[in-house]
Amino acid sequence: MSVFLQQALLSARPFVYQRLATLAPLRRLPPSHVSHISRMARMCQGKSISYHVAGSWLSWELSEMVQDPVLPKLYFLEVGQHTTDCYRYVDGELEYGCEFQVVQNANWSCVLHPLDEKAEVPSEVSGPDAEGHELACGHLGFWTPLGVEAGSQLVQDYTSLVQLCRAAGQEQAALELESEVACWGSENVLFQVVPGFIWNRQAPCNVDSGRSNPRCKQAAVAPAGPCTDQVALEIARKQQEWEEAGWQILTCEPHIVEILDDKGKLFDYAQKLGMCSFVPQRYTSAEEASYPCMLKPASGQYGEGARIVNSSADVQCVAGVEVGSQWVLQELILGEYEYSTSLLVWCGEVLDSVTMKYHYAGVQYVWPRVHEISKELCDIPAQHLHVMTMFLAGYSGICNFNYKLRPDGTPCIFECNPRIGADLAGDVPKLRARAFFDQMAEIAEKRGA
């Protein structure tokens, strides 16, 4: 997960930062990865001002922030993740994070963050640690992105942005925004993504973003497509309530969604089906594992909380003495190529499938903390599709399989997400993705007729 911290000084317009900033907690990542640590802004009013960050991972040496080429009032710093261990126990709970400060003009007498009560320049910090010192921390595995402001983008909003870009001399940014609008489909709402999510802007058609509450929008006529595992499970559990509120939904029995969502239960299900060769080997204790291997929360999404561990000590530091039901310790599948297949399923039958092939700069990594070299739309072999279908008995809705190929060419499935995936929302070519969602809308319409 990319890591951002925003500091908006009062001389800037808060609305701009609410719309543009994607926030997530400051957290420790494996040393080999690169993460974003800060994104901030200040009105210079004719003065030449620089901003610097000092942090525990930098041995408290100052590193200058870079001015954003498109948004000149934004400054950011990209740093290699620290190598020191920032885990600690507080009241028996594992916490982790980093310490940092932001100063102006490399002058320690002008600290912008954190500020004491007597500071001349007030500021407001959004993030897990408003004081900026000690650890920006939380219970391990419980951080989630705060996300951007949800809502459907409008043509008039983009028109205003294009005008502002051109007035600022940013012609390339204006052309990119105009190209994005040109890719939009019909203004009619064909499907709805719930809840509002950070890649709403990338979605191939206009979307109407709701929350995971069936009462948030009455008399909805377009089908609701969950984009988080929690919402997919909530829809399955309360499908009658959603339908009574006017939503069109494609879902199934809650226990089926639970099996796909929980990586431990998915492995158990593969064992029941006699298909363990198509999933990574699972280790029930840290001592019996073959390292390096993968440790991830049993229920998680978008790489949250997942990490490569190299010893039983690493596992115990993160998960405690026992792996337990909340964590999955499994075989690390090597390879620089990874596949993501989105399926439209009705009562266990696959009606449509689309697969993206990704090439990454490494054979050991945790997405998204890896550099992407290339991506392309590809065909899925019939035998791979057959393997996936075996896991989907009784399932209805959209789901997403992530997998690599073993040396003999057989797929090894890391997880199956019972929701819309980021690949379908942003990477699948627009016309192909639109056709996929058109079918979803048609099924929901027939079901509701």
Tokens of 410: 């057989």
Residue 398's SS3 state is strand
Query: Where on the phi/psi map is residue 144: left (φ > 0), alpha (ψ -120 to 50), or beta?
Result: beta
Number of Cβ within a 10 Å radius of residue 319: 21
Quick one: which H or E segment has residue 34? strand 34-41
Number of residues that this document lists for the chain: 449
Number of Cβ within a 10 Å radius of residue 193: 25
- Under DSSP, the state recorded for 174 is H
Give me the tens of pLDDT residue by residue for the chain, a chain 449 residues long.
223 333 333 222 222 222 222 222 233 323 332 233 333 333 333 456 787 777 665 666 777 877 766 556 666 665 444 333 444 444 544 344 455 677 778 777 677 666 554 444 444 433 333 333 333 322 222 222 222 233 345 566 667 777 777 877 888 888 877 877 776 655 555 556 655 544 555 554 434 334 344 444 433 445 677 888 888 898 899 888 878 877 778 899 999 999 999 999 999 999 999 999 999 999 988 888 999 999 998 887 777 778 898 998 888 887 765 676 788 999 999 999 999 999 999 999 999 999 999 999 999 998 877 889 999 999 999 999 999 999 999 999 999 999 999 999 999 999 999 999 888 888 898 889 888 988 888 887 776 65
Reference 25, options 154, 106, 98, 127; nearest CA is 127
| Residue 402 vs residues 17, 90, 173, 183, 343: alpha-carbon distances, Å | 33, 36, 33, 27, 11
Confidence (pLDDT) at 280:
96
Residue 120's SS3 state is coil
The CATH code of the domain at 189-280+333-449 is 3.30.470.20
Instruction: Name 328's bridge partners.
Output: 296
d(CA 120, CA 100): 20
d(CA 237, CA 255): 9
Domain 281-331 has CATH 3.30.1490: yes
Confidence (pLDDT) at 244:
80
Collect all residues with Cβ–Cβ distance below 8 Å to 372 and sequence separation of at least 6. 358, 359, 360, 361
d(CA 434, CA 352): 12
Collect all residues with Cβ–Cβ distance below 8 Å to 358 and sequence separation of at least 6. 337, 338, 339, 340, 372, 374, 375
Confidence (pLDDT) at 336:
96
Q: Let me know: does 236 contact 186? Beta carbons within 8 Å.
A: no
Confidence (pLDDT) at 124:
40
